[in-house]
Amino acid sequence: MEIFWNTIADYNAATWPAQLLLTGIGAVLTLLLYKRPSDAVCTAMKIYMAALNFWIAGIYYLVYGGPREYHRMLALFWAIMGCIWIYDLVVKHASLSRKGHHTLFAGILFVMPLVYPLVSLALGRTFPMMTSPVMPCSVAVFTIGLMLAFAERVNIVLAMFLCHWALIGLSKVYFFGIPEDYLLACSVVPALYLFFREYIRSLAGSASKPSPRVLNALLVVLCAIIGGFFVFTLLHQFNLFTETI
Amino acid sequence: MKTRHELTEILDFIAEYATYLLGSGVHTSRAIRNSQRIGESLGVDIQLSSFQRSTILTVRDEESGEALTRVVKIPALPISFERNSDLSALSWDALDERLPLAEIRRRYALLIEKPRIDPIFVLVTVGLANASFCRLFGGDWTAVAIVFTSTLVGFAARQRMQAHGVNHFLIFIIAAFMASLCASVALRFDCTAETALATSVLFLVPGVPLINGVIDIVEGHILIGCSRLINALLLIICIAVGLAATLLMVKDSLL
């Protein structure tokens, strides 16, 4: 736990100007995707996302996360996500070619990287030992928002990676007591529901098995189970069970 | 007595039917039995020899003794037990109702046009099945949850690579690597991480080629049986390579 926060403090102290720059570029590209979407902006955003993922892999985990156990594994995890963005760019997957959808929810997810530090401050942490906008969970939330708002066809491998990362984040809430990561877990369930609901809607006219109605019902059940699991973890985190007993 | 044209039409249909069955995960003797049943309903004798990638088919008119032979490539199709069952039932219908070739063809076309199970549904159910394996092998609930999402990642990657026509063996190595890498995060937590790692790649185990290989050997189709088993063995080696890569990176050893 102490090692975890020390590595974050080292990372923030050394990279805050670069983090500000990356956050600024992300904000500008997101606004451009909303206001003036074009192939060039899509390409720039994909390159930015790949760079952001490689940054997390290289700088966050390999350079500053060295003292943590299994940091190379996590670096590889983010490097693979970076490679998926490069692949996405090369094969011209339609992952950012839609004009902004789910504006409200996606908007909330876009500001979430800025909410992370605020939550940290609210929890009594101080700079540099606090969460910042360019950290794994903040980047994961931002990526989910991006896919939700602009993906014509969701890159399902990337979505599953993020789902897996959210589960890890949730486990960190449970095992290491880092409630900030609950923000990611909370945003993944509705995002997954929306991803798959759109996919099911796209099947409406065609013959599919099971039928779109059954698929939708299964999706609701699955999201309800995952949501229930998250709520249980939240209650556990805040020790509400012991209070009621 | 059949004309040459009629014999050719029968041969073409049965070649398509038999290779469809073989490509969809049916063992050899079942494909032969079904094909011969259709042949019997149409008054011809069918002889079939199958290899891993192709099939040799001979149709012989029982009245005139005229025979035609074709070598047909076996297509790579997704395994579907429901479709196999439907196609077997079609062969019985053909025999019982003495259906003409045109009617058999029409019913066959309807059967193969039936929608396949949705890939997203398959993805989720495979994830649940693999997570259940983890539980069966003694994994705790944290490990089960990690295996579930790891399987989603590995299987989604496999589906995407298959859609892009990536080499079959490469797909198995990459999918095994990705699933086991994701499962290796279990090592960070106080849970049954070893079980999570070991079971995360079970969704890739080529069960159908293994079973079919054994059935083929037992029923005397030694060559194709061995081919299927070797193919399955190669896939298992690919899974091992993917898992080994993760273990070497994460644990610096294979054990």
* Strand ranges inside chain B, DSSP E: 44-50, 54-61, 67-73
Which residues does chain A have within 8 Å of residue B149's beta carbon, measured at their own beta carbons?
Answer: 160, 163-164, 167
Question: In terms of Cα–Cα distance, which of B182, B192, B69, B188 is closest to B127?
Answer: B182
Q: Kindly tell me the sign of the dihedral angle through the C-alpha atoms of A27, A29, A32, A34.
A: negative
Pairwise pLDDT comparison (B9 vs A227), residue with the higher score: B9
The 10s digit of each residue's pLDDT in A92-130 is 887 787 777 788 888 888 998 888 888 888 888 888 988
Q: Tell me the whole-structure pTM to 2 decimals.
A: 0.88
Within the 19-58 window of chain B, which residues sit less than 8 Å (CB to CB) from chain A? Answer: none
- Is the pLDDT assigned to residue A1 strictly greater than 80? no
Which ipTM was obtained for this model? 0.85
Supply the range of the domain harboring residue A90: 2-244
Interchain contact B5–A (C-beta under 8 A) = no
Residue A45 CB partners (closer than 8 Å, separation 6+):
A29, A30, A33, A96, A146
Nearest CA in chain A to B153: A160
User: In the prediction, which pLDDT does A13 show?
Assistant: 94
The total domain count for chain A is 1
How many angstroms separate the CA of residue B44 from the nearest CA in chain A?
Answer: 37
Residue B6 CB partners (closer than 8 Å, separation 6+):
B101
B35: its two tokens:
């094909």
User: In the prediction, which pLDDT does A245 show?
Assistant: 45
Determine whether the interchain pair B185/A74 forms a contact, defined as Cβ–Cβ distance below 8 Å. yes
- Is the pLDDT assigned to residue A15 strictly greater than 60? yes
pLDDT grade, residue B1 (50/70/90)?
Answer: confident
The 10s digit of each residue's pLDDT in B143-191 is 998 999 999 999 999 999 998 889 999 999 999 999 999 999 888 888 8
- Is the pLDDT assigned to residue A208 strictly greater than 60? yes
